[in-house]
Amino acid sequence: MPPTEYLSVSQAAKRKGVTRSAIYQAVNSGKLPHTLIADKIALKAKDVDAYTPIPLDQRKGVRLGGKQRKPGADSNKSRARRKEAHASEQKSAENGAQGQELVSSKEG
């Protein structure tokens, strides 16, 4: 019987074309059997080859393309920045209007 070939998490991830995180999730959920060798996760090559990862777009709770937001939703920071910019614009517009009033009252 040939010796068993073991793979690291990184090697298994490369072999299956997934992230190391996906391999760790499979190990933690019990879908991918493992052995600990010197406190490192070791995976039998035959188990890795037999494991079929769930495609990313079919995983429950996985967001593709970063954060998903409702249309028109803003973060509190960006909303506060816009509100501050608007207040600043109004203040400068008011100051400009007051300056115009002072100039026209001096002229008349």
Structure tokens at 90: 């109004």
Residue 70 lies in a domain: no
DSSP symbol at 32: S
3 and 44 assigned to the same domain: yes
**Full DSSP string of 34-83:** -EEETTEEEEEHHHHHH--PPPGGGSTTPPTTS----TT---HHHHHHHH
Query: What is the domain-level CATH number for residue 2?
Result: 1.10.1660
pLDDT at residue 57, rounded to an integer: 64
Q: Which of 25, 72, 71 is nearest to 51 (CA)?
A: 25
The mean pLDDT value for 80-105 works out to: 69
Structure tokens at 94: 């008011």
Q: Which of 30, 27, 55, 56 is nearest to 42 (CA)?
A: 27
Q: What is the pLDDT of residues 34-90, one digit of tens each?
A: 999 999 999 999 999 999 887 666 666 555 555 555 555 556 667 777 778 877 787
Q: What is the pTM of this model?
A: 0.51
**Residue 24 pLDDT > 80, yes or no?**
yes
Q: Which domain holds residue 102?
A: 79-108
